[in-house]
Amino acid sequence: MPNNTWKPGSWRQRPATQLPTYGDAAVLDSTLRELSNLPPLVTSWEIVALKQAIAEAQEGKRFLLQGGDCAETFAECRPEIISNRLKVLLQMSVVLIHGLRKPVIRVGRFAGQYAKPRSSDTDTRDGVTLPSYRGDLINGPEFTPQDREPNPRRMIMGHARSAMTMNFVRALIDGGFADLHHPEYWNLEWVGHSPLAEEYHHMLEGIGDAVRFMETISGSQVNNLDRVDFYTSHEALLLPYEEAMTRTVPRHPGYFNLSTHFPWIGMRTAQVDGAHAEFFRGIANPIGVKISPTVKPDALLHLLDHLDPDNEPGRMTLIHRMGAANVAEALPPLLKAVRDTGRRVLWVADPMHGNTESTSNGYKTRRFDNIRSEIEQSFAIHREAGTHLGGVHLELTGENVTECTGGARELTDSDLARAYHSTVDPRLNYEQSLEIAMLIARQASV
């Protein structure tokens, strides 16, 4: 528990990076006041349930699947985009349950993934310099002074769109969309014949047989197959927004960040003495931290002492994003340090962010083989260290994009121009995502 000097706003006393400078303080203040009176996006009950599930994943009893866009956009808060993304995550989770033989915790990178860290504060084109695009919660992507000016009112719009996304996801799931008796609900119309379809349908037949067998011997429907839990997550980057959503509740002690179930600290804002670590220290949510190859074991232990002094079950998830070329060297010392101190953490692999590269035709991409390699190496390194990899963190979409190369359809650099829609990082498309799920499922038998 944080000491009693912590408050949702105590981060303001610490050096903050990656935050915008707002021009109009009066509009900012009135916006934050308005936001702090709007309903929360999630409840403390759900957050407590997720923390319990993560505690079980830390013991190897569950696997975490976390995925969605690099950056959601307000324009793409659309029903088909939301339901297609949900379909992919549901299909992947079935593949993982079948292969790993354990329950999967489903966490979307959605309903609030609207703020982005950037490597530069400014963007210069043809001699004109404007603020960088920092995600729709902060400013707009068009290269115009109007769009790039940070606008506090975007926080109200982002809250509303997060609520609309949540509402649609919850209604779909409560209505039976996730029912394991009807995996055909998750078919994506545009897919046609996929090289992976046969393996996936074979797996579904196996699951269908098992469900029917269970129902025959028990004489009734197997419970809980018609609904699943879905949680939300985002990088809690824009601290004024996160602060306004952080509140006490009647039935659980402490302060809960009610903007999402599972916020994480990005690689660029994970300094132990910085504003983001100060904010995260005091919230009761389960939290994630992205870990890059530059993080040294001592610094990691120091950060864990700061964020989780009580070594609380379910509290800490460490998301390593090393890159296929670095993981073998960078990961083992961290695993050893954490293991030797008896610290309870959930280790998750993000095989996306260490594998970003630019093509000669000017696209930011990721090669499927590097993503696959980082996952396979991560499983092996954990086995060797006597720790276990308990989850995966992916950037993906249910749309038929061409942003990452490789995979079963062997997309090449020249395919990237065809359907590149991401405003920030390249995402796995539907088939590439399913292929990754099958690859992880196979790790159970390695």
69 part of the interface to Mn ion, by CB under 5 A: no
Does residue 280 contact residue 286 with C-beta atoms inside 8 Å?
no
Nearer to Mn ion, 244 or 436 (CB): 436
Maximum Cα–Cα distance across the chain: 73
154 part of the interface to ligand PEP, by CB under 6 A: no
What is the rounded CA–CA span in Å between residue 389 and residue 331? 12
Smallest distance from Mn ion to CB 7, Å = 30
CB-CB neighbours of 357 under 10 Å: 13
112 part of the interface to ligand PEP, by CB under 6 A: no
Q: Which residue stretch of 138-146, 225-233, 266-274, 298-306 sits at the interface with ligand PEP (rule: CB under 6 A)?
A: 266-274
321 touches, from ligand PEP, Mn ion, none (C-beta below 5 to 8 Å by class) = ligand PEP
Q: Which residue stretch of 12-20, 46-54, 263-271, 304-312 sits at the interface with ligand PEP (rule: CB under 6 A)?
A: 263-271
Does residue 412 contact residue 405 with C-beta atoms inside 8 Å?
yes
Site string for ligand PEP, 13-32 (x = CB under 6 A): --------------------
267 part of the interface to Mn ion, by CB under 5 A: no
234 part of the interface to ligand PEP, by CB under 6 A: no
Does residue 332 contact residue 347 with C-beta atoms inside 8 Å?
no
E strand or H helix at 403: none
Nearer to ligand PEP, 376 or 425 (CB): 425
DSSP per-residue codes, 325-374: TTHHHHHHHHHHHHHHTT---EEEE--STTSEEE-TTS-EEEBHHHHHHH
Nearer to ligand PEP, 159 or 290 (CB): 290
CB-CB neighbours of 439 under 10 Å: 17
Strand partners, 264: 235, 288
Does residue 287 contact residue 317 with C-beta atoms inside 8 Å?
yes
Site string for ligand PEP, 344-373 (x = CB under 6 A): ---------x--------------------
Query: How many residues sit close enough to Mn ion to count as binding (CB under 5 A)?
Result: 2
Number of H-type helices and E-type strands within the chain: 12, 14
Site string for ligand PEP, 307-326 (x = CB under 6 A): --------------x-----
Does residue 342 contact residue 314 with C-beta atoms inside 8 Å?
no
Q: Which residue stretch of 8-16, 262-270, 323-331, 338-346 sits at the interface with ligand PEP (rule: CB under 6 A)?
A: 262-270
CA within 13 Å, CB half, 155: 27
Nearer to ligand PEP, 134 or 315 (CB): 134
Q: Which residue stretch of 129-137, 163-171, 293-301, 417-425 sits at the interface with Mn ion (rule: CB under 5 A)?
A: 417-425
Helix 368-385 crosses helix 430-443 at what angle (to 10 degrees)? 20
8 part of the interface to ligand PEP, by CB under 6 A: no
Nearer to ligand PEP, 55 or 425 (CB): 425
Beta carbons within 8 Å of 296's beta carbon, 6+ residues apart: 333
* β-strand pairing of 63-68 with 389-395: parallel
Among 41, 42, 65, 70, binds Mn ion (CB under 5 A): 70
Among 243, 425, 431, 435, binds Mn ion (CB under 5 A): 425
Query: 55-94: which residues touch ligand PEP (CB under 6 A)?
Result: 70
Nearer to ligand PEP, 118 or 442 (CB): 118
Nearer to ligand PEP, 323 or 406 (CB): 323
Tokens of 413: 């650099």
Beta carbons within 8 Å of 99's beta carbon, 6+ residues apart: 438, 440, 441, 442, 443, 444, 445
Does residue 224 contact residue 252 with C-beta atoms inside 8 Å?
no
Nearer to Mn ion, 246 or 356 (CB): 356
Among 117, 140, 152, 398, binds ligand PEP (CB under 6 A): 117
Query: How many residues sit close enough to ligand PEP to count as binding (CB under 6 A)?
Result: 10
The residues that touch ligand PEP, with contacts defined as CB under 6 A, are 70, 117, 235, 266-268, 290, 321, 353, 425
The residues that touch Mn ion, with contacts defined as CB under 5 A, are 70, 425
